[in-house]
Amino acid sequence: MESTVGGGVVGHGEPDDADVGRLFAAGDERALALAYERWAGLVHGIATRALGNTADAEDVTQQVFVSAWTGRQGYRPDDGPLPAWLVGITRHRIADAFARRQRDERARLAVLGGAAAAPREAFDPHAEDRVVLLEELSRIGEPQRGIMELAFFHDLTHEQISRRTGLPLGTVKSHIRRTLVRLRTRLEVDGAAL
Amino acid sequence: MQHSDPDVLALVALGEQAPVADAEHLLECEQCRADVDELRQVVSAVRVDVTAGAPVAPPPRVWQGIAAQTGARSVPRPERMAGAQPSTSPAPDTATAPNTATAPNTASQMATGPEIAADPGPADPGAAGPVPGRSTGDELTRRRGRRARGGPARGRRDIRVIVAVAAAALVVGAAGGAVGSRLADRTPPPATQGPAGPAGQILAQVQLANLKPATTAASGSAQVVRTPAGPRLEIDVARLAPVRGHFYEVWLIDSRVKRMVSLGILDGTTGQFVIPNGVDVSAYPIVDISVQQPGDPKHSGDSVLRGTIRT
């Protein structure tokens, strides 16, 4: 039952994790609830450890499952377990949440006047750069953005990315290099402007 | 000496293992090492370190939000939730899994469920794309980013809209206490109201993010509905406590946060608002609910809920 979704999979008792992954990828709606039962705790645990027990963490958990579901075409059961993929998405959402906090903080300081150089760095040395970089990343078109998400947050190698996206190895490699250079340039420009 | 292929250096910066020849070259070539280090700065700023650990079960409202956004009809069984019952291992573990017979509701649905089997899901049509990450959160993030970069110099209102959190916290802080008693969670809209619902009248739907989680537990959703009289924006909020001497106003804001249109005052927990002629939600995708003071026709900059409509 390689990638087939039959009554046989879920008909007899509880599907195993791999079944849930296949059902999820196949768009079987029951798999969303099943995945949530099994891995919402994992995702939310990571989110609360990163963001505190906050509404931000709840948002992250919610977004992870929503974007996993709407983007399920991007999940290939053969390439790895579903929870690993969910963790990749979680890392991206947490990075976004950090960036959002940083922006809010920056804006708050701007309103309070002046003290924009408050020592936030102690908390997160990359906070300012992350704001700039994630914004730039979100502007990059496909397939580059998807490739970089897989490389940054899912820790896939270029070979795995090539397999997953169906793009030739050379194409993946050069997209990665060009995008990283673009991001670095963006950082330099932004740094100079500040 | 021949330098390493820049493509390879980029992969090394991402943490991939270099081919032997390149690894040796990197040992002796300062320039290539410097190139890697530069790119590595980018990588480490984007990536966040997360720690896996004990599962933490999210509160029920998280699933409700997911169901509202995806139109999911199956429901997770609380007794099955990891956190209450850890199951974080990626490896299948059917041997120890309790039998289905102990899980009445969904299990029986699952056994019989042809009516929902293989349903691609109502939220599907707009969801193409090879990778995850096209949530409204992304959109909002991007827009926030633009807005933030606009900064005070470029548009004063820009900054006021996002910011003013400090002031707002004072205003809504009082309300926060009242909200603390935590009303029961609202039932999310029925799944059939998804964007591809049978009626075909709901053109778009979005969860509104709480911009002030520290002071209010407000949540809400917005949907664009087609009616014979023209498009309407429907708002549905929960736990949006009244603030003495203030009211809540609904806005549509353009993606650059330069222009905005007031749709009217939100009275109670639901409202239907006319989307004026000439205002297209694809051009004004941000739904915003602000706390307003009587007498000031402008946006107060004090937003409580916000979401970005995907069209």
Residue of B nearest to A96 (CA): B141
Q: What amino acid is encoded at B69 in this protein?
A: Q
pLDDT at residue number B14: 93
Q: What are phi and psi of B261, to 5 degrees?
A: -125, 130
Residues of B in contact with A72 (CB under 8 A): 132
CA distance A177 to B98: 48
What is the per-residue pLDDT across A98-154, written as a single tens digit (0 to 9) for each?
888 888 877 777 666 544 444 443 356 677 888 889 989 989 999 999 999 999 998
CA distance B220 to B289: 10
User: pLDDT tens, position by position, for chain B (311 residues)?
Assistant: 689 999 999 999 999 888 889 988 998 899 999 999 999 999 988 988 777 778 899 999 999 999 998 888 888 988 788 765 434 443 333 333 333 333 333 333 333 322 333 333 333 333 333 333 333 333 333 333 333 333 333 333 333 333 333 233 323 322 332 222 222 233 333 333 333 333 447 888 888 988 877 677 788 999 998 888 888 999 999 888 877 778 899 999 887 777 888 999 998 888 899 898 888 888 888 899 988 888 878 888 888 899 888 87
Query: Is the CB of residue B163 less than 8 Å away from at least one CB of chain A?
Result: yes
CA distance B272 to B250: 10
Q: Measure A5 CA to nearest chain B CA, in Å.
A: 8
pLDDT at residue number B250: 94
pLDDT at residue number B31: 93
Compute the mean pLDDT over every residue in chain A, rounded to the nearest whole number: 83
Residues of A in contact with B10 (CB under 8 A): 173, 176-177, 180-181
Q: Measure A121 CA to nearest chain B CA, in Å.
A: 12
pLDDT at residue number A31: 94
Establish whether the linkage from the previous residue to B90 is cis, with ω within 30° of 0: no
Nearest by CB to A126, from B45, B73, B124: name it.
Answer: B45
Output the CA torsion sign for A31, A33, A37, A43. positive
What is the per-residue pLDDT across B153-179, written as a single tens digit (0 to 9) for each?
333 333 333 333 323 332 332 233 222
Tokens of B262: 């007031």
Residues of A in contact with B165 (CB under 8 A): 104, 107-108
Half-sphere exposure at residue A7, Cβ-oriented, CA atoms within 13 angstroms: 8
Q: What is the 3-state secondary structure (H, E, C) of chain B?
A: CCCCCHHHHHHHHCCCCCCHHHHHHHHHCHHHHHHHHHHHHHHHHHCCCCCCCCCCCCCHHHHHHHHHHHCCCCCCCHHHCCCCCCCCCCCCCHHHCCCHHHCHHHHHHHHHCCCCCCCCCCCCHHHCCCCCCCCHHHHHHHHHHHHHHHHHHHCHHHHHHHCCHHHHHHHHHHHHHHHCCCCCCCCCCCHHHCCCCCCCCEEEEEEEEECCCCCCCCEEEEEEEEECCEEEEEEEEECCCCCCCCEEEEEEECCCCCCEEEEEEECCCEEEEECCCCCCCCCCCEEEEEEECCCCCCCCCCEEEEEECCC
Specify which residues B224 forms β-bridges with: B204, B233
Specify which residues B291 forms β-bridges with: B248
Q: Does B93 sit within 8 Å of A16, measured CB to CB? A: yes
**Cα angle for residues B134, B136, B142 (degrees, 5° grid):** 85
CA distance B301 to B163: 7
Residues of B in contact with A158 (CB under 8 A): 11, 16
- Give the ipTM of the model, two decimals please: 0.80
pLDDT at residue number A46: 92
- Average pLDDT for residues A44-63, to the nearest whole number? 90
What DSSP line would sit under A159-181, residue for residue? HHHHHHH---HHHHHHHHHHHHH
Interface of B with A in 97-156 (CB under 8 A): 97-100, 103, 106-107, 109-111, 113-114, 116-121, 123-124, 126-135, 137-138, 141-142, 144-146, 148-149, 151-152
Half-sphere exposure at residue A192, Cβ-oriented, CA atoms within 13 angstroms: 5
pLDDT at residue number A64: 96
Q: Is A150 helix (H, G, I), strand (E, B) or coil?
A: helix
CA distance B282 to B298: 22
CA distance A89 to B258: 31
- Answer yes or no: are the C-beta atoms of B112 and B296 closer than 8 Å: no
What is the per-residue pLDDT across A158-171, written as a single tens digit (0 to 9) for each?
999 998 889 999 99
pTM for this structure? Answer: 0.51
Q: Is A121 helix (H, G, I), strand (E, B) or coil?
A: coil
Query: Is the CB of residue B170 less than 8 Å away from at least one CB of chain A?
Result: no
What is the per-residue pLDDT across B194-240, written as a single tens digit (0 to 9) for each?
333 334 478 888 889 888 776 777 889 999 988 888 889 999 998 88
Q: In the β-sheet with B303-308, what is the strand arrangement from edge to edge?
A: B260-266, B247-253, B286-292, B303-308, B202-210, B219-227, B230-238, B270-274
- Answer yes or no: are the C-beta atoms of B17 and B25 closer than 8 Å: no
Query: Is the CB of residue B184 less than 8 Å away from at least one CB of chain A?
Result: no
Minimal CA–CA distance to B250: which of B284, B200, B204, B295?
B284
